[in-house]
Chains A and B, each alone.
Chain A
Amino acid sequence: MIVHRKTVRFDELKLDCGETLREVECAYEAYGKLNEDRSNAILVLHAFSGDAHAAGVSDIDGRPGWWENMIGPGKAFDTDLYCVMCSNVLGGCGGTTGPSSTNPDTGEPYGSSFPEITIADMVRLQKKLTDALGIRKLVSAVGGSMGGMQALQWAVSYPEACASVMPIATTARHSAQQIAFNEVGRQAIVADAGFQGGDYYGTDGPARGLAVARMVGHITYMSDESMREKFGRRRRRSEAGEAPAGETGGIFEVESYLRYRGGQFVSRFDANSYIAITKAMDTFDLAGEHQTLGEVFDPCGGRFLVFSFTSDWLYPSYQSEVIVRALRGRNKEVAYVELPSNYGHDAFLVEAGEQTELVRGFLAKTYERVLETTSSSIA
């Protein structure tokens, strides 16, 4: 299935920091057909380095979607039943306005002048998108990792606009450890001379720093066990240019992998986006300083499906359980399960088999409710 990226432009977007972005673009893809009363839409929210291309084959570069194993005809997010959509987040570099976009006031890329953004800002733009498409209520807002933060924000910001949310392998706020890993990534970028205070467009930019940041990220996405299985202490021999002097036995597989992934990331991701988005994740705090998580969930009437993975040490299960306990405290409709996996945080992208039945059953029940309420409101 070849998919085509679409873009909607909005005159302005008010941000939490007080600034207003003008001429904001939002890139998105859609899979499956929106029904007549537009009641079958599901919004999939991507993780930190993801983009709008969640499923199918991109008509830009032929890549498969990042959740290809979950979205499609007969899959967990069944495009025969639902219209599944995914948009690139605000601050990103996959078609939606971000630091690398042109500032309409100056005609130059935003660079260092791009305002500070939040998860709530991202969700505000997504709401503008669903409004523009005439969708009054989503069957579900769903995402893993940073996508899960957005899902939670949807439930709180627009409780009447989503019949359910699915926060996967996520948290209601970052721990010191999570902030720490993000900070290492940011410092790697800033320490690269190519960064030039963020105004590096037109030059090579902080390619080394960005690659190192990504390498750190990849370590946190895997588990000790999955790295042992995937690389062990195996070495890669005799590849031209890959074994500098002193590494007589060739470099370790894991080094080679991280270097490859780091290098690959540079070609598709913008360093300023890295900084802006990780900052948004770190400052995200669903409850804030003046409320409890339970109080924040009070207005939510929808259903929740929360799940986490046993080997995920970046977003450990206790963080999901905090969310679940707060929901239970308000007697919200919540299902929770910790799924077994060796893949660490990557599990939510990889373990389609474990997730499929849960998601399918949860969506079916939710959609049944949506249809009941729409038919009763017509009657």
Chain B
Amino acid sequence: MAVAAQTSPPETSTFVPDVLGREDYRIISEMVDDGSRVLDLGCGRGTLIGWLEKKKGAQCRGVELSPKKVRTAVAAGLSVYQGDIDSGLADYPDGAFDYVVLSQTLQETRQPRNVLHEMMRVGRRAIVAFPNFGHWSSRLALLRTGRAPKTEHLPNEWYDTPNIHFVTIPDFEELIKEEELRVEKSYFLRRDRRIRFRPSLCADTAVYLLSK
């Protein structure tokens, strides 16, 4: 078949075009095996877990701080609860999930290291996606203007940004090493397209699949 003959790497051949228009979601959806137990931290309106339940028969739970978003998720029949990630994880028993997902929220948590640690306790694997603060545009902006960088992926003023930790790809990889975690897969994206060349400089988003 024509599709099979294409040169796209095998891990991207099952890309599902309707995964919510977000490349990190698309990658996450591929990482998750059918019928797994998934916890999505900072799940928003539950778009990702809703998709995983429907298309992958996953059993999903979600945590979200915004009551408005929780309401939308619950109205869609999803088991989402209102709470913050930092404290919410503590209630779950060890190994309750196959995957714990933290998509674009790591930099918003108060204690990212604790969160990562807890994710690995309640889940067999963790999927973490975060905006790369080391992208060349941030570096250049800081250098040129001398002000806290505002970029496409980090668009807020310093005083009202939810991003309270600025993390780069080497920063995160160091943390992984210190936590003695294994990187099963990693993907680097630039404008929703996968890149391989110098990700720490060129990627705006990084996605990792981690295990112990």
Contact = CB atoms under 8 A, between A and B. Distances in A.
B158 interface: no
Contacts of A15: none
B79 interface: yes
A335 B82 CA distance: 8
Contacts of A46: none
A340 B81 contact: no
A324 interface: yes
A325 B74 CA distance: 17
A303 B80 CA distance: 12
Interface stretch (A119-127, A266-274, A326-334): A326-334
B180 interface: no
Contacts of A331: 92-93, 96
Interface string B72-107: 011111111111000010011100100000000000
Interface string B101-133: 000000000000000000000000000000000
Contacts of B67: 337-340
A361 B80 CA distance: 12
A7 to B, nearest CB: 36
- What is the interface of chain A mostly: helix, strand, loop, or mixed? helix
Contacts of B78: 335, 365
Given A358-B71, A358-B75, A361-B74, A334 B93 contact: no
Contacts, number: 62
A305 interface: yes
A357 interface: yes
Given A305-B74, A337-B71, A340-B67, A329 B91 contact: yes
Contact of A333 (B61, B73, B83, B88): B61
Nearest to A365: B77
Interface string A359-375: 01110111010000000
- What is the interface of chain B mostly: helix, strand, loop, or mixed? mixed
Nearest to B95: A331
B81 A324 contact: yes
A361 B75 contact: yes
Given A328-B92, A329-B93, A333-B61, A357 B77 contact: no
Given A364-B77, A365-B78, 16 more contacts: A305-B74, A321-B83, A328-B81, A330-B93, A331-B92, A331-B96, A334-B79, A334-B81, A335-B79, A336-B70, A336-B81, A336-B82, A337-B70, A338-B82, A357-B71, A366-B77
22 contacts: A305-B74, A324-B81, A325-B91, A328-B81, A328-B92, A331-B92, A333-B59, A333-B61, A333-B79, A334-B81, A335-B74, A336-B70, A336-B83, A337-B67, A338-B82, A357-B71, A358-B74, A361-B74, A361-B77, A362-B74, A362-B77, A366-B77
Interface of B: 59, 61, 67, 70-71, 73-83, 88, 91-93, 96
